[in-house]
């Protein structure tokens, strides 16, 4: 099938590459010429494990094309995927300006009938709004919701081996045409109405965020009672009604999806005069959880002024360079405000973090450079390589042997045997 993708961010690029790999002819649009040139050479414009070889293969075999010419792209295809950002406004609602802009561009440029598919995460009612905009063009358009369920850092396996494809449309026959795009994927294919499809994405992310905030509350209780939250979560997870996923205590969730989508769903509830009390608590817990690292640092070191603190991890999670809503970024800002000297390291996210933090931290080339002469080490991102550091060397380099494990990735017994004062979350 001939498919156009508008936007080559995390969702758009993975979708474009994945659909080309499934055998479709895909044209992807980005307004930045420099990014288009990189993509044409098969080079990534952000870090995502496993994506580059599939990108290069499909550029080389001619199934995947990149352009900054919007009209050329959309008139190539029969299906147009809208994959643009919907960031939070100040009141928490989703900013739909990019979605509306794409719809307006389709009105101006479309020379044929099209099925327009919202892949972006959008509030209920957006599909009908897009259709209203498109009605100004004399061609026939159908608007479909097909929400994405991709995790940054694991987007490639999520695309090819996901749990489900959800398609919402006014007409079942239109939804079935879209479902056929994903025929080769072995997963549940669900057809529903527009509004339900739009709601599924928000409900899914809000529920996962709730699980994280819940286990963090349990962690805080465990600390006061002497219980181990890791073992509590393990015992809970064996119950099939609960499962083990998203029961990992730490310094809270971040990223481009959970915070934004929880805020948006809360705002949707406000707009229909519904008091969504649970989501208010989820956000409150998450906000307080990321302050724990600074609170524990003060308990360990007292006044933080002129204290040297190493922060390992800048991305909001491992396997990505994305720092949006990263707990590590907030922690560094708060440490800086308290007068601490912060040294930071991340395998992928240093460049992005520098643009935000500027002179609030010294950015290091290795974790060992970061810990040298530090009085405290904070693990802020769950990169697997942090578990495998030469901890004897780390101990030798540090001025004081204090660790706050904000992601509970280290072996407490091992750290204490080495002579570290170890503090986890809920342990």
Q: Which is nearest to 142 in space by CA: 178, 108, 111?
A: 178
| Contact indicator for 127, 91 with CB cutoff of 8 Å | no
**Does residue 237 contact residue 215 with C-beta atoms inside 8 Å?**
no
Contact 18, 184 (CB under 8 A): no
Q: What share of the chain is helix, strand, coil (3-state, %, to 5)?
A: 45, 15, 40
State the CB neighbour count (10 A cutoff) for residue 87: 12
CB 171 within 8 A of CB 122: no
Show contacts of 190-193: CB within 8 Å, 24+ apart: 190/164, 190/165, 190/166, 191/167, 192/166, 192/167, 192/168, 193/168, 193/169
Q: Specify burial of residue 365 (Cβ count, 10 A radius: 0-12, 13-18, 19+).
A: exposed
Task: Give 106's contacts (C-beta < 8 A, 6+ positions apart).
Answer: 74, 80, 114, 116, 134, 137, 141
Separation CA 275–CA 271 (nearest Å): 10
Residue 336, SS3 per DSSP:
helix
Which residues participate in catalysis according to the annotation?
Answer: 257
Per DSSP, the residues of 270-310 read HHTT---HHHHHHHHHHHHHTTHHHHHHHHHHSS-TT-EEE
């Amino acid at each position: 099938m001939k498919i156009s993708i508008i936007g080559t961010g995390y969702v758009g690029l993975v979708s474009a590459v994945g659909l080309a790999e499934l055998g479709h002819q895909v044209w992807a649009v980005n307004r930045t010429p420099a990014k288009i040139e990189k993509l044409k050479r098969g080079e990534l414009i952000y870090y995502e494990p496993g994506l580059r070889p599939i990108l290069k293969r499909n550029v080389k075999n001619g199934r995947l094309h990149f352009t900054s010419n919007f009209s050329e792209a959309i008139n190539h295809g029969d299906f147009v995927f809208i994959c643009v950002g919907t960031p939070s406004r100040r009141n928490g609602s989703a900013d739909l300006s990019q979605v509306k802009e794409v719809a307006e561009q389709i009105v101006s440029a479309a020379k044929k009938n099209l099925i327009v598919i919202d892949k972006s995460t959008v509030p209920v009612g957006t599909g009908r709004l897009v259709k209203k905009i498109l009605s100004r063009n004399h061609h026939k358009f159908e608007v479909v919701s097909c929400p994405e369920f991709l995790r940054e850092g694991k987007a490639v396996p999520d695309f090819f081996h996901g749990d489900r494809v959800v398609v919402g449309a006014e007409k079942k026959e239109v939804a079935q045409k879209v479902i056929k795009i994903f025929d080769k994927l072995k997963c549940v294919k669900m057809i529903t109405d527009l509004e339900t499809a739009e709601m599924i994405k928000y409900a899914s992310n809000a529920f996962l965020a709730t699980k994280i905030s819940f286990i963090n509350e349990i962690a805080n209780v465990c600390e006061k009672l002497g219980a181990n939250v890791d073992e509590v979560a393990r015992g809970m997870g064996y119950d099939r009604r609960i499962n083990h996923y998203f029961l990992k205590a730490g310094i809270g969730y971040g990223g481009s999806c959970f915070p934004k989508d929880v805020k948006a769903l809360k705002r949707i509830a406000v707009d229909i005069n519904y008091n969504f009390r649970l989501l208010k608590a989820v956000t409150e817990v998450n906000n307080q959880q990321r302050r724990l690292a600074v609170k524990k640092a003060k308990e360990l070191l007292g006044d933080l002024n002129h204290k040297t603190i190493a922060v390992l991890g800048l991305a909001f999670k491992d396997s990505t360079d994305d720092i949006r809503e990263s707990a590590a970024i907030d922690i560094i800002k708060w440490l800086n405000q308290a007068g601490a000297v912060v040294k930071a390291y991340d395998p992928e996210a240093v460049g992005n973090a520098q643009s935000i933090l500027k002179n609030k931290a010294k950015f290091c080339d290795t974790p060992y450079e970061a810990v040298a002469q530090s009085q405290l080490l904070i693990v802020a991102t769950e990169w697997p390589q942090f578990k495998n550091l030469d901890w004897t060397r780390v101990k030798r380099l540090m001025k004081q042997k204090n660790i706050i494990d904000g992601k509970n990735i280290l072996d407490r017994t091992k750290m204490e045997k080495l002579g570290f004062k170890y503090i986890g979350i809920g342990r």
